[in-house]
Amino acid sequence: MDRIKIFDTTLRDGEQSPGCSMNLQEKLEVARCLEKLHVDVIEAGFAISGPQDFKSVQEISKVIKNAEVASLSRALEKDIDVAWDAVKDAVSPRIHTFIATSPLHMEYKLRMTPEKVLEQAGAMVAYAKKYCNNVEFSAEDATRSDLDFLVRITEIAIANGATVINLPDTVGYTTPAEMEYLIKYVMENAKGAEKAEFSVHCHNDLGMAVANSLAGVQGGARQIECTINGLGERAGNTSMEEVVMALRTRADMYEAATGIDTKQIYNASRTVYNIIGQTAPLNKPIVGKNAFAHESGIHQHGVLANKKTYEIMTPEIVGVQTNNLVLGKHSGRHAFKQRTSELGYQLTDEEVNRCFGEFQLVADKKKTVTDRDLEAIISHHVSAHQIPEAEGYKLDWFSVYTSNFTTATCTIQLKKGDEVFEEVKLGDGPIDAAYNAIDAIIQPKEHVFNTYQIASTSEGQDTLGDVTVKLLADGRTYTGRGLSTDVIEASIVAYIKAMNRLMAEED
């Protein structure tokens, strides 16, 4: 079995996609998930793109001990200087520099001749090498580049010290057969190719990112660049969980394996979705709600006889628990902590206390508390990115009156530290009235609603309502999430949390 490295760029390429921005604490939370997954390389960001990005790369570099940490940089001295300054404290730092190589990009974006691009690539790889032994070079838009030009720039990059050569499908244009041929051609024709590791970075514009990445492996690439849940520009990147499980499930075909701890996949996926305020599509491979569900009678009969009839992998292998009904209102703290540990969460005593208190409230309202309920409780009350209650507003109580023939009214009381605030407002419905009352209390800066979404954590009438609110202000997104058997209460809590984040940013 050949060893395939997993280079995760969730915190760079994934995070820069619309609606997926994360603050420092959220990025640290994801970075720790990636370390638990045993990814080989964490691309922590694009350090020169702004102070916040630089800070996040720097802090991630300090806390990650069991993975390489990389920062992206253009093939410019100032970019490379900043990238190194951000990753220099990492146990294993990497500088990832790139320049476009397709005729289209060279002429219209770079406005450089091919010879100048070759010269710049060589000079900047050498410049990065003076800082760091581990230098990755990417030929942006490689799949629309001239093959012989790719060979030349690969030779120059390796001669100047590049240890990894990445040939990306930047716009999701290529096909599996073409990707396999491209990797083989460059590796066979570039002098010194044996001195470097080859990598693929595929986008999903035509829905072929995973297939193209696997084809790259068949062509000789030994590093796959990907993101959790396939997050990324436009239609996204290669999905980490899909490509990893494809290699594992079809090891007979690819004769290659990763070092990923697959039992951490589901937890990592949920963490990222929770942070960006999204849920997995029902039919999302590996981590979607229906990925291991069977409704067809024929399928159910087959699975009952032998799971392998309709399941090519077990849910447990990716960290999905098949035991659904786990705890109730008579369960104690020890049983709660034991079950959360079995689900893959390592909670501190403070986190256990906070989550157990919420669990007890839920258990009083529901007959049974499912694993999905527990996961929702933990994601709401453990996330490091939440504004501390002492610093933000929190709901004390609310009362609504609504019908289909009168204007809805909401009376709401909020607390902030020792201060108490109360307002009454009208609205087009109970949630609109509640939000108007909250606005009257907080008086936030101008903002618009980007997302209002309600999801259920499990089946049944007593399911928890999981509400996500995203606010857009000054080009930034502020996310809040609320959890309750009462969707109005969940909606209010979600809005307050989003407001707390908006106001904290303003301060």
Per-residue model confidence as pLDDT tens for the chain (507 residues): 899 999 999 999 999 887 788 889 899 999 999 999 999 999 999 999 999 999 999 999 999 999 999 999 999 999 999 999 999 999 999 999 999 999 999 999 999 999 999 999 999 999 999 999 999 999 999 999 999 999 999 999 999 999 999 999 999 999 999 999 999 999 999 999 999 999 999 999 999 999 999 999 999 999 999 999 999 999 999 999 999 999 999 999 999 999 999 999 999 998 999 888 888 888 999 998 888 876 566 766 676 788 788 889 988 899 887 644 457 777 788 878 887 877 777 788 888 888 888 888 888 877 677 777 887 787 776 554 454 445 789 999 999 999 988 899 999 999 998 899 999 999 999 999 999 999 999 998 888 888 898 888 776 666 788 898 989 888 788 888 888 888 999 999 999 989 998 888 765
Same domain as 463, residue 418:
yes
Report how far residue 222's alpha carbon sits from residue 216's, in angstroms, rounded to the nearest whole number.
Answer: 8
Same domain as 372, residue 257:
no
Same domain as 150, residue 239:
yes
**Encoding tokens for residue 428?**
């087009």
DSSP, collapsed to helix, strand or coil, labels residue 233 as coil
**End of a domain among 381, 408, 433?**
381
Same domain as 479, residue 364:
no
Whether 86 and 58 have beta carbons less than 8 Å apart is answered as yes
DSSP, collapsed to helix, strand or coil, labels residue 6 as strand
Same domain as 360, residue 259:
no
Same domain as 498, residue 366:
no
Same domain as 112, residue 240:
yes
Whether 99 and 139 have beta carbons less than 8 Å apart is answered as yes
pTM to 2 decimals?
0.81
Task: Please indicate, yes or no, if residue 306 is contained in any of the structural domains.
Answer: no
Q: For the chain, what is the radius of gyration of the CA atoms?
A: 25
Task: Please indicate, yes or no, if residue 290 is contained in any of the structural domains.
Answer: no
Same domain as 410, residue 364:
no
Same domain as 245, residue 144:
yes
Task: Please indicate, yes or no, if residue 309 is contained in any of the structural domains.
Answer: no
Task: Please indicate, yes or no, if residue 295 is contained in any of the structural domains.
Answer: no
Same domain as 217, residue 85:
yes
CATH code where residue 271 lies: 3.20.20.70
Whether 172 and 234 have beta carbons less than 8 Å apart is answered as yes
Same domain as 433, residue 368:
no
Task: Please indicate, yes or no, if residue 288 is contained in any of the structural domains.
Answer: no
Listed in sequence order, the DSSP H helices in 388-470 are 430-442
Phi and psi torsions of 429, nearest 5°: -165, 180
Domain that holds residue 354: 321-381
Task: Please indicate, yes or no, if residue 294 is contained in any of the structural domains.
Answer: no
DSSP, collapsed to helix, strand or coil, labels residue 256 as strand
Whether 287 and 274 have beta carbons less than 8 Å apart is answered as no
Let me know if 47 is exposed, middle or buried by CB neighbors in 10 A (0-12, 13-18, 19+).
buried
388 secondary structure, DSSP code: P
Task: Please indicate, yes or no, if residue 311 is contained in any of the structural domains.
Answer: no
Task: Please indicate, yes or no, if residue 289 is contained in any of the structural domains.
Answer: no
DSSP, collapsed to helix, strand or coil, labels residue 9 as coil
**Strand pairing category for 419-427 and 408-416:** antiparallel
Same domain as 398, residue 345:
no
Q: Tally the domains of the chain.
A: 3
